Amino acid sequence: MGSIIGMAIFGGLCGLGLLNLMALVAKNGKHPFDLVEFSSDQDVAATVAAWAAGNGYALARHEGGRQVYRKGKGFLTAPMFLELDRIGDRYTIKSYVRINGLILQGDVGLAGDGFLVKMPRSMAKKAQNQLFATLGLQPLK
* CA–CA distance, 53 with 57 (Å, rounded to integer): 6
Q: Which pLDDT score is estimated for 26?
A: 53
Q: Please, what is the Cα angle at 105 between 59 and 111, to 5 degrees?
A: 70
Q: Which pLDDT belongs to residue 28?
A: 56
Cα–Cα dist 40/80, whole Å? 25
Q: How far, in Å, are 11, 66, 135 from residue 32 at the CA level? A: 29, 19, 23
Residue 12 confidence (pLDDT): 66
The mean pLDDT value of the chain amounts to: 85
Residue 55: which pLDDT band, with cuts at 50, 70 and 90?
very high
According to CATH, the topology of domain 2-134 is: TATA-Binding Protein (3.30.310)
pLDDT for 102 equals 73
Over the stretch 56-112, which tens digit does the pLDDT of each residue have?
999 999 998 899 999 998 666 789 999 999 998 899 999 999 988 777 788 889 987
Q: Which residue ranges make up each domain of the chain? A: 2-134
The model carries a pTM of 0.82
